[in-house]
Amino acid sequence: MKAVKIIVKGLVQGVGFRYTTKMLADELKIKGKVVNMPDGSVYIEAQSTDEASLEQFIAGVESSPSPAGRVDEMEVSEMKPKEYSRFSVIYR
C-alpha cells in the first residue's frame, strides 16, 4: 500500500475540482479524501495497493480533473497509509 498527501494550488475551488477528483479516484480505485482549505488550496490524501493507479491519479490531478480548474502548483509527499474504505469529499 502506497499513500500520498497532495496540496494543490491554483484555480481549484468553486470549479468542481473536488467532485471531479473523486470521480477520477473512484475510476482508479483510489481511497482517501479531498478537502478545500481556508487558504484557497485543496488537500488530498490518496492511497492504493496499485502504484501505477496512484501515479495515474497524481498525473490526473496535476492536469486538473475539472475542465474549469487550473493547477498552478502541486506538492506531493509520501505518508503513512490510513484506514480508508473509499474516497470521500470532505465539507468544511
User: Any catalytic annotation for residue 36?
Assistant: yes
The CATH architecture annotation of domain 2-80 reads: 2-Layer Sandwich (3.30)
Mean pLDDT of the chain: 96
Average pLDDT, stretch 62-73?
Answer: 93
The domain locations on the chain are 2-80
pLDDT of residue 65: 87
User: Any catalytic annotation for residue 70?
Assistant: no
Active-site position among 36, 70, 86, 92: 36
Tens-digit pLDDT profile for residues 1-37: 999 999 999 999 999 999 999 999 999 999 999 999 9
For the cut 90, the answer to whether the pLDDT of residue 92 exceeds it is: no
Q: What distance in Å separates the CA atoms of residue 42 and residue 45, rounded to the nearest whole number?
A: 10
Active-site position among 18, 70, 86, 92: 18
Average pLDDT, stretch 39-62?
Answer: 97
Average pLDDT, stretch 61-81?
Answer: 95
